[in-house]
Amino acid sequence: MEDLKSLIDKINEEGVNAAQKKAREIESQAQESAQFILEKARLEAKHILSKAKEDSVKTEEATKALLKQASRDLILNLRKEVDVMLEKIISLHTQQALTPPELLKIINSLVKDHCSKETKGSIVISVGKHDFEKLEKSFLSELKEEIKKGIIIKPSDDISFGFTISYDADKSHFDFTDKALVEYISSQLKPKLSLILKG
């Protein structure tokens, strides 16, 4: 009987020991698995965070580049609009300044100056159609002597305001039209305007 009890105690002790050993093995494996899972989670979190930072930097750089390009485009468009506005203002003032009486004064001066130099070749003056009649009457009455030397005044469809003058029978000419004057004045003012815009 005592042998039986001793055997049962021994079996119990061995079973408990085996169970405890198995439990420790399971616990150790669970800890290793948990450690592995935690390490893997840490690495993944680190990778996600690094990728997020990288993406954030790329997005920030792309945004900065887009803003820089947008500001460049805005400045270019603004300059174009200012140039167009400047040309319109110059054109308006030029047209207002090129009245028939003013044209007559300028033409008169150019013709008299040329005729005093005793140069050969007829003088050809081209004006816009709307100014032609007014100028022709005034011009003919004021420059009777010069007309004898071969001065021709004629209308031109290509001229809105102003005139062209040729001293070699229209082979070449000096351009005093509104287009030419606007171009010249604009070329003088645009660099100054650019400096103002930069400032």
d(CA 146, CA 171): 20
**Residue 158: what residue type?**
D
- The domain 100-198 is placed in CATH, from the list 1.20.120.450, 3.40.50.10190, 3.30.2320.30, 3.40.50.300, at 3.30.2320.30
Strand, helix or coil for residue 160: coil
Helix, strand, coil shares of the chain as percentages rounded to 5? 75, 10, 15
d(CA 123, CA 153): 8
d(CA 33, CA 26): 10
Q: Are 145 and 108 in contact (CB under 8 A)?
A: no
Q: Are 89 and 188 in contact (CB under 8 A)?
A: no
Report the candidate in 161, 166, 164, 165 with the shortest Cα–Cα distance to residue 178: 161
Partner residues linked to 188 by β-bridges: none
> In Å, how far are 31, 40, 43, 74, 189 from 35, measured between CA atoms?
6, 8, 12, 57, 76
d(CA 96, CA 149): 32
Residues in the chain: 199
| Mean pLDDT taken over the chain | 79
pTM for this prediction? 0.55
Q: Are 103 and 142 in contact (CB under 8 A)?
A: no
Q: How confident is the model at residue 145 (pLDDT cuts 50, 70, 90)?
A: low
Residue 143 pLDDT: 57
Residue 71 pLDDT: 84
Task: Give the model confidence (pLDDT) of 97-117 as tens digits.
Answer: 888 788 888 887 887 777 666
Cα dihedral 127, 133, 137, 139, rounded to 10, equals -10
d(CA 84, CA 190): 11
Give the least confident one: 8-17, 52-61, 169-178.
8-17
Q: Which two tokens stand for residue 71?
A: 């500001």
